[in-house]
């Protein structure tokens, strides 16, 4: 018998294979060798991803149910402070005993390899616009400090990111004067 190298997120299903109704649970704690996630939020290399797997032998394959637990990190998109994001996701997938066209995953050498499924589930759950707090007020463009109360809306301080838009809006008002558009008079 082939000596099976232990790939990450891969478990033996020998004891439930072809035994209909037979179930087994197994917990995996894997340390990531590389970062998961390309965006602003990601699970960093060296972090542990925990997976509670339940394996059930069915007629045509092994039903794998997984509950995943991990912690992603990100910068708040408003104030740039580091944020820890708890990741809790699940998936269920049937691994066929023999590869078929309908089923993407199959049992290989009496093992199921869940790495791609776990990774996809985690990465797809990561937020695109992570916030330290729903009500985060972001940074004061003048001082660069984190705001603790809303900035006065007197038009005297304009976020540099909006200044360009403001300029565009101003050129729009050459014919009709829009009372809502604030001119920068300062």
Beta-bridged to residue 106, according to DSSP, are 96
Q: How far is the CB of 82 from Zn ion (least distance, A)?
A: 10
Residue corresponding to tokens 């001119």: 183
Binding residue for Zn ion, selected from 79, 112, 122, 123, defined by CB under 5 A: 79
The Cα 182–Cα 90 span in angstroms is 49
Binding residue for Zn ion, selected from 16, 78, 95, 119, defined by CB under 5 A: 78
Which among 78-86, 96-104, 150-158, 173-181 is the span making contact with Zn ion, rule CB under 5 A?
78-86
**Rounded-to-10 torsion of CA 69, 75, 79, 81:** 80
Q: Is 136 in the site for Zn ion (CB under 5 A)?
A: yes
Categorise residue 101: left if φ over 0, alpha if ψ from -120 to 50, beta otherwise.
Answer: alpha
Which among 8-16, 46-54, 135-143, 166-174 is the span making contact with Zn ion, rule CB under 5 A?
135-143
Is 28 strand, coil or helix?
A: strand
For 178, half-sphere exposure in the C-beta direction (CA atoms, 13 angstrom radius) is 11
Residue corresponding to tokens 């499924």: 117
Which among 59-67, 129-137, 160-168, 169-177 is the span making contact with Zn ion, rule CB under 5 A?
129-137
Q: Is 76 in the site for Zn ion (CB under 5 A)?
A: yes
Q: Is 137 in the site for Zn ion (CB under 5 A)?
A: no
Which among 8-16, 76-84, 95-103, 105-113 is the span making contact with Zn ion, rule CB under 5 A?
76-84
Interface positions with Zn ion (CB under 5 A) = 76, 78-79, 132, 136
């Amino acid at each position: 018998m082939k000596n099976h190298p232990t790939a990450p997120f891969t478990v033996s299903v020998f004891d439930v294979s072809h035994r209909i109704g037979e179930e087994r649970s197994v917990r995996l704690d894997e340390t990531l060798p590389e970062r998961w996630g390309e965006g602003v939020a990601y699970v960093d290399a060296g972090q542990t991803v925990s997976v509670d797997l339940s394996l059930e032998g069915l007629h045509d394959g092994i039903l794998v149910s997984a509950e995943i637990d991990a912690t992603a990190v990100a910068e708040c998109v408003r104030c740039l402070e580091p944020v820890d994001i708890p990741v809790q996701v699940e998936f269920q997938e049937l691994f066929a005993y023999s590869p078929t066209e309908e089923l993407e995953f199959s049992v290989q050498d009496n093992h199921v390899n869940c790495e791609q499924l776990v990774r996809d589930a985690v990465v797809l759950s990561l937020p695109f616009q992570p916030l330290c707090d729903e009500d985060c007020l972001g940074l004061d463009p003048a001082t660069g400090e984190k705001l603790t109360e809303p900035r006065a809306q007197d038009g005297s301080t304009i976020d540099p990111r909006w200044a360009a838009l403001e300029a565009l809006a101003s050129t729009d008002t050459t014919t009709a004067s829009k009372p809502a558009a604030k001119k920068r008079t300062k």
